[in-house]
Homo-oligomer: A and B are copies of this chain.
Amino acid sequence: MKATAKAHTNIALIKYWGKRNEELILPTNSSLSITLDLFYTETTVEFDERLTTDIFYLNGEEKGTDETAKVSRFLNHVRKLTGDTRFAIVSSQNHVPTAAGFASSASGYAALAAASSKALGLELDGKELSKLARRGSGSACRSIYGGFVEWKKGVKEDGSDSYAVPILDQKAWNLSILSVMIESKQKKILSREGMKRTVQTSPFYDGWLKATEQELRIAKKAIEKRDFEMLGETLEKNAFKMHATTLGADPPFFYWQPATLEIIDCVQHLRSQGLLAYVTIDAGPNVKVICQPDDERKVFQTLNEIDSVKEIFVCHPGPGISYL
């Protein structure tokens, strides 16, 4: 009735941007990510018949109604699989500092899916675990696996074919991912809200879907051939396209800040000097820079000289789910 699991966060190279079903969290396009080594969540779940409600501890602190309700809603999906009615104590240690520029929902729900299903005696394979994690947060379905991972969007109404698959082990191709944190105000538009508004109102959304499908194919080809330039160009183009769609939304919005453009400019300048480094940007102002390990030091030093850069976290491909 008790289990502990550990899951790492991931960074999308081909972005998940838009849902076709809000309730089941089904995406409009397939996406591609790298699971990272540096940031993770460890979660213990214990079901107990004596409990009269779910209890949620985050980093040792008992959380209030709203946050616990989210965890409960997720546990309901697991309980439904076994017909169980017991409540649980969930205890999470989140090693994803907010200041690191990664959402903790991906590693959080992946670890919760793994720990809670194991605690109830379910032996879910990666595919089933991925589908379960997806119900908590879309990108969590990719954190089940290590290395390069594809989330296949699926076409079925019930979401049974929408899950992640591993496409290259973390050890098979080492890359450097630098998370570049800038001085910034609070994010104004949450990604959930931003993608919804974009799907509903942006005249660029059809173009996004068509282009992303093609870019995913190219990115997978690049991974297969270990062609870093091809991968880098593709992921950077994909990120720019995602951000373009938000400028077409009604009302329009954008996640970029002045320092975001400074970092893009710096990376493109490095590239004009022959160093292969590429940017990707999620639903916020921070920039992630992808390069090859041999160039990591040079990229770090160059970015670190920019005044508006607050901190840089250097990550590499990390592992999938593990049980402790």
Query: Looking at the complex, which of A34-42, A83-91, A252-260 is the stretch in contact with chain B?
Result: A252-260
Bound complex: CA of A206 vs CA of B259, how far in Å? 31
- Which B residues touch A204, using CB under 8 A? 203-204, 207-208, 241, 244-245, 248
Tell yes or no: A167 within 8 A of B by CB.
no
Q: Which of B237, B247, B257 contacts A261 (CB 8 A)?
A: B257
- In contact, A262 and B258 (Cβ under 8 angstroms): yes
Q: Could you tell me the distance in whole angstroms from the C-beta of A61 to the nearest C-beta in chain B?
A: 35
- In contact, A244 and B248 (Cβ under 8 angstroms): yes
- Which B residues touch A211, using CB under 8 A? 203, 248
- Which B residues touch A187, using CB under 8 A? none
Q: How large is the interface on A (under 10, 10 to 19, 20 to 34, 35 or more residues)?
A: 20 to 34
Bound complex: CA of A304 vs CA of B202, how far in Å? 33
| 18 sampled A-B residue pairs with Cβ under 8 A | A203-B207, A203-B210, A203-B211, A204-B245, A206-B207, A207-B207, A211-B248, A236-B252, A237-B250, A237-B252, A241-B252, A243-B247, A244-B247, A244-B248, A256-B261, A258-B262, A260-B261, A261-B261
Query: Residues of A with Cβ closer than 8 Å to B?
Result: 202-208, 210-211, 233, 236-237, 240-241, 243-245, 247-248, 250-252, 254, 256-262
A206-B206, A244-B248, A260-B261 given; 7 more Cβ-contact pairs under 8 Å: A207-B248, A211-B248, A233-B251, A240-B252, A247-B247, A257-B261, A258-B261
